[in-house]
Amino acid sequence: MATSTTPTGQETSGTARPIVEVDSVVIRFAGDSGDGMQLTGAEFTKASAVAGNDLSTLPDYPAEIRAPAGTLFGVSGFQVQFAAHEVFTPGDQPDVLVAMNPAALKTNLPDLVTSGSVIVNTAAFNAHNLTKAKYEHNPLEDGSLEGYQVYPVDITGLTKQCLVDSGLNAKAIDRCKNFFALGMTFWMFNRPIEPALKSIDEKFAKKKPELAEANIKVFKAGYHYGETAEIFHQSVQVKKAEIAPGRYRNIMGNSATAIGLVTGATLADLPLFYAGYPITPASTILHELSRYRGYGTTTIQVEDEIAAVGAAIGASFGGSLGVTASSGPGIALKAEAMGLAVSLELPLVVVNVQRGGPSTGLPTKTEQSDLMQMLYGRNGESPVAVLAARTPADCFDCAIAAVRIAVKYMTPVVLMTDGYLANGAEPWRIPDLDDVDCFPATFRTDPEDFFPYQRDEATLARPWVKPGTPGLAHRVGGLEKDALTGHVSYDPENHQKMCELRRDKVLRIQQELSPLEVNGEREGEVLVIGWGSTYGSITKAVNGLRETGAKVSHVHLRWLNPLHPGLGDLMKGFGRILVPELNLGQLVRVLRAEYVVDAVPLNKVQGKPFKVSEITAAIEALLEK
Amino acid sequence: MGSEIKLKKKDFQSDQDVRWCPGCGDYSILAQVQKSFAELGVNRDETVIISGIGCSSRFPYYMTTYGMHSIHGRAPTFATGLKVSRPELNVWVVTGDGDSLSIGGNHLIHAMRRNVNLKILLFNNRIYGLTKGQYSPTSETGKRTPSTPLGSVDNPFDPVSVVLGAGATFVARSIDTDTKHLQEMIKRAHAHQGTAIVEIYQNCNVFNDGAFVQITRKDVKEDRQLRLQHGEPMLFAGGTRGIRFNHLGVPEVVEVGPGKTPLDEVAKHDETVGSPAYAFTLAQLRYPEHPTPVGVFRAVDRPTYDDAVNEQTQAAIAATKSRNLLSLWNQGDVWEAE
């Protein structure tokens, strides 16, 4: 646990064991991909949020829906850090590991902190599962767990006993065991159980009321087991975090994106039209938006990724806000149509929820390797605006910004998130109406002196005309157009002018950007430049080093195209520049090309986010030079 | 879609120079669309023509309606997004055989499956013209082109059969030079609620001249075309020959008249037959074994996709009590921090 523990000696009814207060805890639930670990983790997260902790989560699961039971590659994990202070990451190393089988123990134990706690389901440690996990000896018996605090619990057996009269079959009973584990952790960490009871009931009551009842029973049994079985030496308390007053809800990145898109369209006074095709990890944006049809949102699932972006562009042509989302492979298929949107100069929002690549890559793992694809992955001079969200809740703000810029500048905007943000969660302070500004879209209706490509002087945006507007019928297309009339033009000078105009229009977005926020001084030894979901790890690393007096600062780029106009000057104030990215060096190349600076890359492509320690080490190495 | 001032054909002609090769069949199709739209009283401001890529896809530039010249094969996707979001608009798609049946085959069949209220004009010239003469998915087997100097080996698609298989609710075929018939088919497509597709045999006089001349030549067309007319016996060759279905339901050509097959044995065409199998059977008829049918193969009613989507949205709106940003944001487990 993150800080030294101090037994308070405080006693509560029903237990003689002390409650220990700590600043933060990192817990990881791990089991078979069919063991319900994601649900278990999500319930624990909700309870921690309601308890007032700040938190951050990291789901980590295999691409196979139900990988063969007991195998090393079938292990599904969910990690959450909850704390009495601001949390930036799900934590480098778990303090507590809940391992539902030998494979889960084997794959996760190396991550655990020294002398960390392990709760194991002893029933799963049979010869069959040990072989599958490639254990020669039972790790519970051969002394290999010495140094850890091991809590062996027959979770399977206790669950069975609890449900012996339930009427459920053996398979259904076995599938309740994750709630026993959840109950134990609730006791261990003093989580309020009411929200979980309510949530379990809501999840199962409609479809299978008998399962709701069973899961609640097992959950309570696990909780009481923690209380009475005397295997845990203490219960741990993490106090409420000091967070800004207001209303909060827990939010995952893809939900924040979806809600942000609906919000953005509302602020723009436009109907939202979303077309999508299923792809991991972007599909939940379609799912979530489909729940908001009652807000006037149209969502359709179409035959492929190309049809999705095509339908979105068609809707934008008609005066709606066209939106589509996908992940790298799907975005590759959309590239040609995105180029058309550049040429048509219509608003379009494309969300790329990045995953490991190339090709099918690592569908369920996170990566930041599509930056070049989004900046340059189209034929011709084809600039689009690109921004990236930094935390799950930030997806909300970024989605609104994407809508605003797309409409104001009549341009496709790419919003980049990734699997880590999409499935990760954090408390989101729900805005007030005063926190958002309307930016209603305007449509040209005046037929006098109408030219489809006549531009606004400030934004270089062309007029948006809804088909159906009398006297304004016009034709647009992917062939090069005359810079004023929009008629097909093969004129050499005109083509150069149009290419430059499309470039300059996206550059003009710079005038929308608020001053760069820098964590630290604007001069120093090392400037860390990040983008996207590495925000938490970099912030934590930089804050840690700054506390020791290191002259390191951090700037996190929201806009990747255009780059912030203040970035060049900022970089001049530092001796070294470090660019951590979950790729093999993409932003760093852009920075080197744009500013001719000797920026140093820090790269990781393991399907996992940076550990704070990795970034700290890289900064320290630069400081020493 | 009536307009107050009576429009003429020229009101649909844009100021852009038409750039098709002299003698191209596209000129006639453009003229028949303009004439039909004028006669139908189509409102230019409420009409959108969306095309893909290819010679035919330059079509929107030559019309005075709203238009979008999109990307290769994808016109139905843009049209679907537009029609679903703006159901009151009159949305047409112009495409070619390569555009719709090769690179865009997927979108074509899914438009049919959904029955989006789009009107699709498929210009079939059995060749890639804009790229200078490669064989297309409708070219006859053995076609010698720059990309198949030894002759193509693949079997062609019949567009009518493909779309019938995908569930099309309105399917017709016409010919570029048969101006009256083409106008009639355009008007029928316009009147249909749902996806209406008209395959138009179109001559490419530069790369595939005479592709349909065996059935379109004046002196032979009576004998080699079967004019499908709803409720009428399927007769051709001046009424001397007809189509009869044998006991297996297979169509056969019969001589009609005294001492030959009696007229009442000749099948009467019914474009409203529910099963697409009937229209599909007719689509298998082709010269030289049979006369090639032109006209409406199938015209049936089925709810449209755009209506269904919008009805869902309206129902969802009606069922949502508070529709504002605060209700959107404050969902799920919400707690207060002080």
The string of pLDDT tens digits covering residues A47-82 is 998 888 999 999 888 887 778 889 999 999 999 999
The more confidently predicted of residues A102 and A203 is A102
- Locate all alpha helices (DSSP H) within B1-122, ordered by sequence: 26-40, 75-85, 97-98, 105-114
Residue A14 pLDDT class (50, 70, 90 cuts): very low
How many helices and strands (H and E) does chain B possess? Answer: 11, 12
Q: Check B80 against A307: CB less than 8 A apart.
A: yes
User: With contact defined as beta carbons under 8 Å apart, do B75 and B118 qualify?
Assistant: no
A197 inside 8 A of chain B by CB = no
Sign of the CA dihedral with A538 first, then A544, A546, and A551 last: negative
Tokens for A354? 């990045």
pLDDT tens digits, residue range A458-486?
999 999 999 999 999 999 999 999 999 99
* pLDDT at residue A15 greater than cutoff 70: no
Mean per-residue pLDDT, A114-130: 95
Question: Tell me, what CATH number does B151's domain have?
Answer: 3.40.50.970
Q: Check B333 against A46: CB less than 8 A apart.
A: yes
Percentage of residues in chain A with pLDDT exceeding 70?
97
* pLDDT at residue A11 greater than cutoff 50: no
Residue A543 pLDDT class (50, 70, 90 cuts): very high
CA distance B37 to B6: 11
CA distance B195 to B187: 14
- Closest alpha carbon within chain B to A302: B110
**Domain boundaries defined on chain A:** 6-238, 249-435, 518-624
Tokens for A140? 């519970």
Walk across the sheet containing B292-299 and list its strands.
A475-477, B66-69, B47-51, B90-96, B119-124, B196-201, B170-175, B292-299, B225-228
> Do you find a cis peptide bond into A580, omega within 30 degrees of 0?
no
A249-435 and A518-624 share one CATH topology? Answer: yes
User: With contact defined as beta carbons under 8 Å apart, do A405 and A385 qualify?
Assistant: yes
A42 inside 8 A of chain B by CB = no
Q: Check A304 against B106: CB less than 8 A apart.
A: yes
Question: To the nearest whole angstrom, how far is the Cα of B206 from the nearest Cα of chain A?
Answer: 23
Q: Check A475 against B89: CB less than 8 A apart.
A: no
Give the pLDDT confidence score for residue B4 in this predicted structure.
Answer: 60
Q: State the CB neighbour count (10 A cutoff) for residue A611.
A: 18
* pLDDT at residue A526 greater than cutoff 90: yes
Low-confidence ranges of chain B (pLDDT < 70): 1-4
Question: To the nearest whole angstrom, how far is the Cα of A18 from the nearest Cα of chain B?
Answer: 27
Range of the domain at B104: 9-211+300-305
Nearest alpha-carbon partner for A235 in A27, A25, A19 = A19
Give the pLDDT confidence score for residue B1 in this predicted structure.
Answer: 46
Give the pLDDT confidence score for residue B46 in this predicted structure.
Answer: 98
The more confidently predicted of residues A577 and B322 is A577
> Is B13 domain-assigned?
yes
What is the fold, at CATH topology level, of the domain defined by A518-624? Rossmann fold (3.40.50)
User: With contact defined as beta carbons under 8 Å apart, do A585 and A559 qualify?
Assistant: no
Question: To the nearest whole angstrom, how far is the Cα of B97 from the nearest Cα of chain A?
Answer: 19
- Locate all alpha helices (DSSP H) within A90-143, ordered by sequence: 102-108, 127-132
| Residue A256, H or E segment | helix A253-267
Mean per-residue pLDDT, A117-146: 95
CA distance A553 to A515: 16
User: With contact defined as beta carbons under 8 Å apart, do A82 and A95 qualify?
Assistant: no
Measure CA of the first residue to CA of the last residue in chain B; give whole Å.
Answer: 60
Largest Cα–Cα separation, chain A: 87
- Judged by DSSP in three states, A549 sits in coil
What is the fold, at CATH topology level, of the domain defined by A249-435? Rossmann fold (3.40.50)
Give the pLDDT confidence score for residue B2 in this predicted structure.
Answer: 46
Q: Check A247 against B330: CB less than 8 A apart.
A: yes
pLDDT tens digits, residue range A283-340?
999 999 999 999 999 999 999 999 999 999 999 999 999 999 999 999 999 999 999 9
The partner residue sitting opposite B89, judged by closest CB among A52, A298, A468, is A468
Tokens for B24? 């191209």
Sign of the CA dihedral with A131 first, then A135, A141, and A142 last: positive
Measure CA of the first residue to CA of the last residue in chain A; give whole Å.
Answer: 33
What pTM does this model have? 0.93
CA distance A45 to A40: 9
Walk across the sheet containing B235-236 and list its strands.
B235-236, B241-245, B251-255
Nearest alpha-carbon partner for A507 in A441, A565, A442, A557 = A565
- Judged by DSSP in three states, A46 sits in helix
Strands (E), A177-293: 235-238, 246-252, 272-276
Nearest alpha-carbon partner for A482 in A464, A471, A496, A503 = A496
User: With contact defined as beta carbons under 8 Å apart, do B104 and A303 qualify?
Assistant: no
- Judged by DSSP in three states, B27 sits in helix
Burial B191-207, CB ≥16 within 10 A → b, else e: ebebbbbbbbbbbbebb
Question: To the nearest whole angstrom, how far is the Cα of A567 from the nearest Cα of chain B?
Answer: 34
Q: Would you give the distance in Å from CA B64 to the centre of its chain?
A: 21
What are the DSSP calls for B111-134, one per residue? HHHHT-S-EEEEEE-SSBTTTTSB
Mean of pLDDT over chain A: 94
Which distant-in-sequence residues (6+ apart) come within 8 Å of A349 by Cβ?
A261, A264, A321, A322, A323, A324, A399, A402, A403, A406, A412, A413, A414, A415
> Is B325 domain-assigned?
no
Nearest alpha-carbon partner for B216 in B235, B230, B201, B229 = B201
Mean per-residue pLDDT, A604-617: 96
Which distant-in-sequence residues (6+ apart) come within 8 Å of A620 by Cβ?
A545, A550
Q: Check B334 against A479: CB less than 8 A apart.
A: no
- Judged by DSSP in three states, A60 sits in strand
- ipTM (interface predicted TM): 0.97
> Is B228 domain-assigned?
no
Strand partners, A60: A77
Give the pLDDT confidence score for residue A430 in this predicted structure.
Answer: 97
| Number of domains composing chain B | 1
CATH for A6-238 is 3.40.920.10
pLDDT tens digits, residue range B106-159?
999 999 999 999 999 999 999 999 999 999 999 999 999 999 999 999 999 999
Q: How far is CA A215 from CA A181, A201, A218, B48, B91, in A?
A: 11, 9, 5, 56, 53
Give the pLDDT confidence score for residue B169 in this predicted structure.
Answer: 98
The partner residue sitting opposite B77, judged by closest CB among A273, A314, A487, is A314
Question: To the nearest whole angstrom, how far is the Cα of A29 from the nearest Cα of chain B?
Answer: 22
